[in-house]
Amino acid sequence: MNVKSAEHDEHAAGFVRRYIFSVDHKVIAKQYMALSAVMALIGGGSSYLIRWQLAWPETSIPGWGPIGPDNYNALITLHGTVMVFFVAMPFLLGGFGNYLIPLMVGADDMAFPRLNAMSFWTLFAASAVLIASFFVPNGPAAAGWTSYVPLSDKAVYTGVTWGQNLWILAVALEFASFLMGGVNFLVTGLNLRARGLTLMRLPMLVWMEMTAAVVFLLSVGPLVAGAIMLLLDRVAGTSFFQPDRGGDPILWEHLFWFFGHPEVYVVALPGFGIILEVIPVFTRKPIFGYSMIVYSTLAAGLLSFIVWAHHMFVSGMDPRLASPFSITTIMISVPFAIIVFAMIASLWKGAINLASPMLFALGGLATFIIGGVTGIFLGSAASDIYMHGTYFVVAHFHYTLFPVLFFGGFAGMYFWFPKMFGRMMNEALGKIHFWVSFIAFNGVFIPLFLVGIGGSPRRIYELSSYEMLKPLQPFHVIATVFAIILLLGQIPFIVNFFYSMVRGPVAEKNPWHANTLEWTVSSPPKHPNFSPPPRVYRDPYEYSVPGAAHDWIAQNELDQQGAQAAGR
């Protein structure tokens, strides 16, 4: 199926083919975003219940009622699974990747439009299976988002039977979905580039999405193997992970984290990509060190495969593994430090415009630095052994994923909303959304760093029953109050989003005066995206070039001398 005939189908077809089972990458991208928004409500709602229980244990939660220890385990499992697999990946990869890769490389659609649609609907099925697991006898999976054995391996430990099997099925379907999507990203980015758009002229986001796709494709295999083994243990009587019958429970952790750590970068890189797209537009100067960022990204992708055991310093694995994995983990902070320093240097002496997309990009940068620095504590085995089982890890994790998913994601949302919906968003509401979220986010997780250092263990239902933890309880209350503010802080965005979609001022083609190809087509782009196909003459971030007519030069803009050389 080539792109042209897919488009032809699209035009001939009716409502269902055009809006539901569409093969247009722009429609599929919005479907991904809508799905991730619904799942974010579930994931966010679960965090409300979790936080309430931790602050005021065993009280009746307003709007819900009391939760018991079993439900608490199910809720933290749900929160992690949903947020990583069904919110972060669909939003940052499925949504932004699908919408922007074809537009940024000057293509009319993805390389395989039907595969793209199949990828989304597979994810839809995965979400349905995950939600269905809440309504089976003996309840949903309750072994954590990492599904550590033996908890997940034998029904006797959690009392969960079909819920855990359905969890495995849902996650397996999600992997299948993103395998299809990842192949599409790569082939589109490599093969459908406009003439003149060499690899080193690709917008940063395309590099990041493509690297994320490769990292995902090559890391997920061992967990697929592990999931098959876990499922066989549960339904076919095998004993891969059961020590009493010759199995090895630590094996699951190896297989999980071989995927699980690269997965962090699968989510983080697209978030960085968005931040790197936003910064040059709102500083009016080129990205600092484009090629260094590209090489650092590739180096980080490579290194991400040999750091996984830093999640396992306390698992009981051979302690001789601790030093090598500490070293590789500290090493991987180098390419990320380069990327972060490049972002900071890109701000230097720029004409910074603190519009909503830029605020979110800067918020992401600021909070990610905290996440990165606290990662050093956990990457080094000596300090990790003390902190691993505590809330310090919870806080660190949220300080790495929240910057890319939330701040990066919303930076992208405010930035590309005019392109997606043809209207501008309200700036005042955007700023309220940012400041409330930024303050509340730090208000939730800085206290959690403190309780972590204080020794408060994570994965515990009722902390206040431990005498030694009682002095730390006020910090949990502070975190919960801010968590509720953070959740309520999303209301301005929801209002802004739907209001702007119908009533916002109409957006022109290029409202931010940006250079990349998606801003050279109408808002929203027509079908097909480009007619005729664009030709690229420039790097993506040529802002404030001395002697130019504007402070921006679109990638497909040909200047006088260039035109002469081309003989036009």
The binding site for other proteins (CB under 8 A) comprises: 111-112, 179, 182-184, 186-187, 190-193, 195-199, 214, 217-222, 224-226, 228-229, 232, 236-240, 245-248, 251, 255, 258, 285-287, 290-291, 537-539, 541-542, 544-548, 553, 558-562, 565-566
Helix (H, G, I), strand (E, B) or coil at 258: helix
Sign, CA torsion 115/117/123/125: negative
Residue 136 C-beta: closest distance to other proteins, Å? 24
For the CB of residue 345, give the shortest distance to other proteins in the complex, in Å.
Answer: 11
Give the shortest CB-320-to-other proteins separation in angstroms. Answer: 16
Q: How far is the CB of 8 from other proteins (least distance, A)?
A: 17
Shortest distance, CB of residue 545 to other proteins, whole angstroms? 5
- Pick between residue 40 and residue 169 the one whose CB is nearest to other proteins: 169
From CA 47, how far away is CA 104, in angstroms rounded?
36
Q: Which is nearer to other proteins, 34 or 566 (CB)?
A: 566
Query: Please, what is the minimum distance in Å from the beta carbon of residue 262 to other proteins?
Result: 11
Place of tokens 């978030």: 271
Helices 3-12 and 113-132 meet at what angle, rounded to 10?
Answer: 70
**Cα–Cα distance, 239 to 255 (Å, whole number):** 16
| Min dist. Cβ of residue 495 to other proteins (A) | 39
Axis crossing angle, helix 427-453 with helix 491-503, rounded to the nearest 10 = 160
Structure tokens at 383: 């300090």
Q: Which is closer to other proteins, CB of 179 or CB of 361? A: 179
Tell me the closest approach of the beta carbon of residue 93 to other proteins, in angstroms. Answer: 15
In terms of CB distance, is 430 or 540 closer to other proteins? 540
Cβ(541)–Cβ(515) below 8 Å: yes
Q: What is the DSSP string of 500-555?
A: HHHHSPBP-S-TT---SGGGGS-SS--SSS-SSPPB--S-TT-BS-TT-SSSB--T
Between 182 and 403, CB nearer to other proteins: 182
Q: Yes or no: say if 445 and 494 are a contact pair by the CB < 8 Å rule.
A: no
Shorter beta-carbon distance to other proteins: residue 258 or 397:
258
* Residues 247, 457, 449: CA angle, nearest 5 degrees: 125
Beta carbons of 358 and 348 less than 8 angstroms apart: no
Q: Which is nearer to other proteins, 186 or 444 (CB)?
A: 186
75 or 342: CB nearest other proteins? 342
Contact 456, 466 (CB under 8 A): no
